[in-house]
């Protein structure tokens, strides 16, 4: 093991950690370190080469309003002043950078961590995301990194073909699912993905579309559960392993976050995507990347209540979904090889 491979895993949502663990499993011969604030669910029993470094959150309930300025420096997305948690997090990482050498850091995602590592002399790989990321902090991180790694196919790239594009390696798409094709598809059943809630796809909206389409059955997967008077809505709550249910429906409705799009593509399902408001217009750009393909409809948040949903359902069911070239069976191996090859450029055995 000529060098250590470390990953910084952003704690918002579960997607960053889910992706990281898939990559880590493809790197069994390397010492792996995971930095993050939401690593409590990681089971190391099958990952003997992995060490977890738990980073405290920046804020606690007492000082959450402290350190926030009216003027944010142009060079960072997030750099509050006088916040002990930030100093603690950075000190932990800098100490590991010094102790674990040589090291390559994969950042998923943070401009500030990317720049910290570079200032400590640690080569970095930055994970690409969709969105409008031509601002100064992103460009500084991209320029300082050895490689930009896109966990999707080149056909999904949205933006100018500039030096950022030239520096990006596209691995192809992947998800946690491996379709087996053994489940009967019920054409009158639809899955609605709401995740942890708090999106445009709320209970009132779900009841609204169910009332428009009384002959269809809607399976709602996510943290919300309601005692519903609508006989055609089933609230499943959180489902840790939803693949069987998703394979049995004909249409999936969900937001256009990266993991949702990749999972629907893996299962080759018809998709109605509703982009949520996210920093840097991430979901809007992801929706733009997949829009126009057969069996894929994008509905903007502002149009949810005036859309004729029954008409969309009747149209989309007649189309075979076109997710061609989005999912590659060797995508994770492509990513692992790109990481190792980058490390080998800096560290000779």
Torsion of CA 173, 177, 178, 180, to 10 degrees: -130
Q: What is the DSSP letter of 273?
A: E
Q: Which region among 74-88, 209-223, 252-266, 327-341 has the lowest average model confidence (pLDDT)?
A: 74-88
The single residue listed with the structure tokens 């309003």 is 65
Mean pLDDT of 266-295: 97
**Which pLDDT belongs to residue 199?**
85
**Which pLDDT belongs to residue 111?**
98
Q: Which region among 40-49, 51-60, 302-311, 319-328 has the lowest average model confidence (pLDDT)?
A: 51-60
Do 122 and 7 meet the contact criterion of CB atoms below 8 Å apart? no
- pLDDT, one tens digit per residue, over 305-343 is 999 999 999 999 999 999 999 999 999 999 999 999 999
**What are the structural domains of the chain?**
4-174+329-346 (3.40.50.2000), 186-316 (3.40.50.2000)
- pLDDT, one tens digit per residue, over 242-253 is 999 999 999 999
Give Cα separations from 141 to 35, 109, 279 (angstroms). 18, 10, 17
**Which pLDDT belongs to residue 68?**
57
Do 255 and 275 meet the contact criterion of CB atoms below 8 Å apart? yes
| Residue 72 CA, distance from chain mean position | 26
Residue 349, pLDDT above cutoff 70: no
Enumerate residues 6+ apart whose C-beta is below 8 A from 325. Answer: 153, 155
Averaged pLDDT score across all residues of the chain? 93
Residue 66, pLDDT above cutoff 70: no
CA–CA separation, 65 vs 274, rounded Å?
32
The H or E element that residue 4 is part of is strand 4-9
Q: What are the backbone angles phi and psi of residue 234, rounded to the nearest 5°? A: -120, 120
**Which pLDDT belongs to residue 306?**
96
**Which pLDDT belongs to residue 84?**
86
Residue 60 pLDDT grade (very low, low, confident, very high; cuts 50, 70, 90): low
**Which pLDDT belongs to residue 70?**
59
**Which pLDDT belongs to residue 83?**
85
% of the chain with per-residue pLDDT over 90: 85
What are the DSSP calls for 329-345, one per residue? TTHHHHHHHHHHHHHHH
């Amino acid at each position: 093991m000529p060098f250590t491979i470390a990953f910084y895993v952003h704690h918002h949502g579960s997607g960053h950690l889910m992706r990281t663990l898939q990559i880590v499993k493809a790197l069994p011969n390397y010492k792996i370190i995971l930095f993050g604030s939401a690593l409590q669910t990681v089971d190391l029993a099958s990952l003997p080469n992995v060490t977890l470094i738990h980073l405290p959150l920046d804020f606690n309930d007492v000082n959450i309003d402290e350190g926030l300025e009216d003027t944010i420096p142009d060079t960072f997305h997030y750099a509050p002043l006088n916040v002990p948690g930030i100093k603690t997090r950075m000190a932990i990482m800098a100490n590991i950078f010094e102790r674990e050498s040589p090291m390559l850091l994969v950042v998923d995602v943070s401009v500030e961590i990317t720049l910290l590592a570079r200032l400590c002399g640690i080569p970095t790989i930055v994970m690409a995301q969709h969105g409008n990321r031509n601002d100064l902090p992103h460009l500084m991180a991209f320029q300082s990194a050895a490689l930009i790694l896109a966990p999707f196919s080149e056909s999904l790239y949205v933006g100018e073909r500039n030096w950022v594009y030239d520096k990006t390696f596209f691995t192809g798409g992947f998800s946690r699912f491996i379709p087996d094709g053994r489940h009967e598809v019920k054409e009158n059943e639809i899955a609605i993905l709401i995740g942890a809630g708090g999106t445009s796809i709320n209970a009132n909206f779900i009841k609204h579309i169910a009332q428009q389409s009384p002959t269809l059955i809607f399976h709602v997967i996510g943290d919300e559960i309601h005692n519903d008077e609508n006989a055609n809505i089933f609230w499943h709550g959180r489902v840790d392993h939803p693949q069987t249910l998703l394979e049995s429906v004909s249409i999936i409705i969900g937001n256009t976050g990266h993991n949702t799009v990749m999972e629907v593509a893996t299962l080759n399902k018809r998709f109605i995507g509703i982009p949520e408001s996210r920093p840097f217009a991430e979901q809007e750009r992801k929706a733009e990347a997949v829009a126009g393909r057969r069996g894929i409809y994008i509905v903007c948040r502002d149009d949810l209540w005036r859309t004729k949903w029954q008409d969309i359902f009747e149209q989309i069911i007649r189309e075979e979904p076109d997710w061609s070239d989005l999912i590659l069976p060797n995508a994770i191996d492509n990513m692992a090889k790109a990481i190792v090859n980058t490390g080998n450029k800096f560290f000779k055995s």
